Structure 1
Amino acid sequence: MEQQDRRTLAWHETLELHELVAFQSVGLMKLKLSYRKVPDQELKEIYRKSIHELEHNLNELLKFYPSAPGYQGRDDDDDFREDVGFYAGDLLSLSKALVRNLSVAITETATPALRNVLTKQLNAGIKGHERIFNYMYRNGLYPSYDLGRLLGNDIENAQKALRMKY
């Protein structure tokens, strides 16, 4: 069996990298937008530390993008709508987390009535995820079938989050 070039990321780890960078970029933007509104100094300090940790994470993860299969850099002519993309990405992250959390909760449920409610909510969550994904895909905010553009969007969002003041 031939040894693969370990300087190139595998497809599955590239997709995990994408999910991590997209999720942390939106989270970082939310923390920075909220920072000034936090009234408690101790909580504000926790926010500040979380912001620095996410910035560190993104800076480390972005270094792997040039090694990703399909990465072509960012097309500067793409008129990505920042605010719409941020809000849509935030809703997509929430819907993914909801589906995951409900799925785990169902596996821990022994009470049939609760299992039925969680299953109903899971199915609704899946439909909600489909709605926001389709919206993002139709509007060019989630080019899921174009890995190069997908990774380029990640870099743009991460860099925007890193540049934001708080």
Structure 2
Amino acid sequence: MTERRTLAWHETLELHELVAFQANGLVKLKRTEREVSDARLKQLYRFSIHSLEQNLRELLPFFPEAPGFREDETEERADSSFYSGGLLSMAKTSVRNYAGAITETATPQLRTVFVKHLNAAIKWHQMVFEYMEEHGHYPAHNLSELLKNDFRNARKAIAMK
């Protein structure tokens, strides 16, 4: 049995997607949790925060095994990067959700509306991606930079109080 030295490219990209999504969500939960007054809902927020922190802690050790990864302690990215990343995540999720919904639709009129919304979500995703790319927030063609940003953002999200 041979020892694995690096992650495969396809699993590295899945790792990127999961870490980026969860780190962004964790920051949003931590920022919002302070405003929640309902005790039960606050408990759900704390559970969610703990769960995402644990997921990220378990995923981060795989980064050194990713092709092209190099850890770098550079300056934190601006809030516009965080906020645009949240928009990108929402747009991507909308595309996936509408695509899935279309496959379950038996009513032609509803399918037409779903297709219209899917096309709008695709356009939305394109607009946000282009904004992020133009501002250097999403180095999609540079895996090393992409993974470095994910790693830094996840650690920042975990450390955030």
AA aligned to 2:10 is H
Distance 1:79 1:42, change over 3 A: closer
Q: Distance in 1 between matches of 2:73 and 2:53?
A: 23
In structure 1, runs of 5+ residues without a counterpart are none
Matched, 1:31 2:29: yes
Alpha-carbon shift at residue 159 of structure 1 (Å)? 1.1
Instruction: Please identify runs of 4+ aligned residues in structure 1 that moved more than 6 A.
Output: none
- Which residue matches 1:8? 6
Amino acid at match of 2:130: N
Instruction: State the TM-score, normalizing by the size of structure 2.
Output: 0.96
What residue number does 1:21 align with? Answer: 19
* TM-score computed with the length of structure 1 as normaliser: 0.93
Q: CA deviation at 1:7?
A: 2.6
Q: Tell me, in whole angstroms, the C-alpha distance in 2 between the residues paired with 1:89 and 1:55.
A: 18
Give 5+ residue unaligned stretches, structure 2.
none
Which letter maps to 1:144?
A: A
Whether the 8 Å CA contact 1:74–1:149 is kept in 2: the answer is: no
Task: Indicate the percent of aligned positions where both proteins have the same amino acid.
Answer: 57
- 1:103 maps to 99
User: Alignment partner for residue 141 of structure 1, among 137, 143, 147?
Assistant: 137
**Per-residue deviation at 1:4?**
7.3
Alpha-carbon distance in 1 for matches of 2:42, 2:150: 27
Does the alignment pair 1:80 with 2:86? no
Tell me how far apart the structure 2 counterparts of residues 75 and 53 of structure 1 sit (CA, whole Å): 25
> What is the Cα-based RMSD across aligned positions, in Å?
1.4
* Alignment partner of 2:153 out of 157, 161, 165: 157
- Partners in 2 of 1:134 and 1:115 — Cα distance? 28
Instruction: Quote the Cα distance in structure 2 between the aligned partners of 1:118 and 1:74.
Output: 43
Q: Which residue of 1 aligns with 2:69?
A: 71
Cα displacement string for residues 23-71 of structure 1 (whole angstroms, at most 9, x for unaligned residues): 0001100100001111110110111011011001001100000000011
